[in-house]
Amino acid sequence: MLHGAGLGLRRSLLGPLQDWRAAREPDADDTGAIDFFEVAPENWINVGGRLGKTLRSFTERHAFVCHGLSLSLGGPAPLDETLLHKIRRLLDEHGVAIYSEHLSYCSDDGHLYDLLPIPYTQAAVAYVAKRIRRAQDILGRRIAIENVSCYATPGRELSEADFTRAVLEAADCELLLDVNNVYVNSVNHGYDAKAFIAAMPPERVAYLHIAGHYDEAPGLIVDSHAAPVIDPVWNLLDHTYAHCGVKPTLLERDFHIPPLAELLAELDHIRAIQQPRLGQTHEHRRRA
């Protein structure tokens, strides 16, 4: 079962993480811990040899989630069922229970190398929900869909919050709630980030993402995953815990990756925010 603070497993981190794991084995202290890892399945399908054995050495000893990059749930091309079958084999082989994907599209007769927003319309709700249900049937699991950062909302009939909630209900799937993406979109599109969080159904939240971003210009933020998390996003994470309870939280860092010690310090920051909320939850349950 997932809990605590997790880290995206990038290949450049494999060496430092192996050293970290070897040094930690006799230590039961939570400080500097990594409670779970996340990988993109597309990067590990059919990978064998030394890298495959290294991945196995991690999945045998740590909790994992898989976060897809290229299923293109909102795309016009037919759903890639071959990819879904490959992903299911990877999930089954490594005992990974949770698979997430972006509520977006990234292909149109070929991959576009970007995550593009699905139009916030009722027709799009029905279209993408049908594809999610089909994907869930093939995977044998519910998908956690992620709210994405976006820079334009063409053809909008619904708010982003209403669209996301409608897809969750129509597809009967779970939510990967990306707190940084909420913050980025709230600045870029001028909405209340806390109101968006409040609109999300807590019972569907499987886990959370948090990350850093880049200030491109006044009122324009780029979701870069290339910088430390800033204080307003930490504050929004605490607000999210107040709304939906303490959920497993994954730190994303894809570019300008710092020394592992800096990433571990951010994971400790996540747990420092979680801990008081966990105490409140336990006290509420005790009184009940």
Q: Among 32-46, 125-139, 193-207, whose mean pLDDT is lowest?
A: 32-46
Look at 216 and 77; give whichever has higher pLDDT: 77
pLDDT band at 109 (very low <50, low <70, confident <90, very high): low
Beta-sheet strands, E only, within 118-243 = 143-146, 174-178, 205-211, 214-217, 220-222
Q: Which tokens is 258 given?
A: 């710092």
Alpha helix positions (H), 25-121: 49-59, 81-94
**What's the whole-number mean pLDDT along residues 60-85?**
94
CA gap 148, 176 in Å, rounded: 10
Answer yes or no: are the C-beta atoms of 36 and 6 closer than 8 Å: yes
The mean pLDDT of the chain is 91
Taking the CA atoms of residue 110, residue 112, residue 115 and residue 121 in that order, the dihedral angle to the nearest 10 degrees is: -60
List 100's β-bridge partners, or say none.
Answer: 67, 144
pLDDT band at 73 (very low <50, low <70, confident <90, very high): very high
Residue 65: φ, ψ to 5°: -125, 155
pLDDT in tens, 31-46: 568 999 999 999 999 9
pLDDT band at 108 (very low <50, low <70, confident <90, very high): low
pLDDT in tens, 74-83: 998 899 999 9
CA gap 117, 131 in Å, rounded: 16
Question: Which pLDDT belongs to residue 26?
Answer: 60
Answer yes or no: are the C-beta atoms of 145 and 132 closer than 8 Å: yes
